[in-house]
Amino acid sequence: MKDVIIIGAGPCGLSAAIECQRQGLSSLIIEKSFIVHSIYLYPTNMQFFSTAELLEIGDVPFTSTNDKPYRHEALVYYRRAAKQYGLDIAAYEEALSIEPLEDGTYAVHTSNMRGEHHTRITANVVIATGYFDQPNMIGIPGEELPKVTHYFGEAHPYTGMKVTVIGGSNSAVDAALELMRVGATVDMVYRGESISSNIKPWVRPIFEGMVQKGKITLHLESRVTEITASSVIVTSHNGDKKSIDNDFVLALTGFRPSRVLLTSAGVVMDDDMDKPAFNPLTMESNVPGLYVAGVIASGRNANEVFIETGRGHGKLIADHILAKRSSHNKELNV
For residue 15, the domain's CATH number is 3.50.50.60
Q: What tens digit of pLDDT does each residue of 215-269 get? A: 999 999 999 999 999 999 999 999 999 999 999 999 998 887 778 888 888 899 8
Q: What tens digit of pLDDT does each residue of 57-115 get? A: 999 999 998 889 999 999 999 999 999 999 999 999 999 999 999 999 999 999 999 99
Task: Report if residue 140 sits inside a domain.
Answer: no
Task: Report if residue 218 sits inside a domain.
Answer: yes
pLDDT of residue 256: 76
* Domain-ending residue, one of 251, 268, 285: 251
pLDDT of residue 19: 96
Instruction: Find the mean pLDDT for residues 109-138.
Output: 91
* Rounded-to-integer distance, Cα 37 and Cα 292, Å: 18
Confidence of residue 37 (pLDDT cuts 50, 70, 90): very high
Closest residue by Cα to residue 52 from 22, 72, 36: 72
| 31 φ/ψ sector (left φ>0, alpha ψ -120 to 50, else beta) | beta
pLDDT of residue 305: 58
3-state SS, residue 218: strand
pTM: 0.85
Task: Report if residue 143 sits inside a domain.
Answer: no
Q: What tens digit of pLDDT does each residue of 268-309 get? A: 987 665 789 999 999 999 999 999 999 888 866 555 557 888
139 exposed, middle or buried (CB, 10 Å; 0-12, 13-18, 19+)? exposed
Same domain, 186 and 327: no
* Domain-ending residue, one of 251, 285, 317: 251
Same domain, 9 and 116: yes
Task: Please name the residues in contact with 57: beta carbons below 8 A apart, sequence gap of 6 or more.
Answer: 11, 14, 15, 18, 78, 81, 311, 314
* Domain-ending residue, one of 251, 269, 285: 251
pLDDT of residue 325: 82
Same domain, 125 and 263: yes
Element (H, E) at 76: helix 71-85
Q: How many domains is the chain partitioned into structurally?
A: 2
* Rounded-to-integer distance, Cα 273 and Cα 284, Å: 18
Task: Report if residue 142 sits inside a domain.
Answer: no
Same domain, 175 and 194: yes
Same domain, 293 and 202: no
Q: What tens digit of pLDDT does each residue of 141-200 get? A: 999 999 999 999 999 999 999 999 999 999 999 999 999 999 999 999 999 999 988 898
Give Cα separations from 185 to 158, 160, 176, 244, 287 (angstroms).
9, 7, 9, 11, 51
Q: Which domain holds residue 210?
A: 148-251
Task: Report if residue 311 sits inside a domain.
Answer: yes
The yes-or-no verdict on residue 6 having pLDDT over 70 is: yes
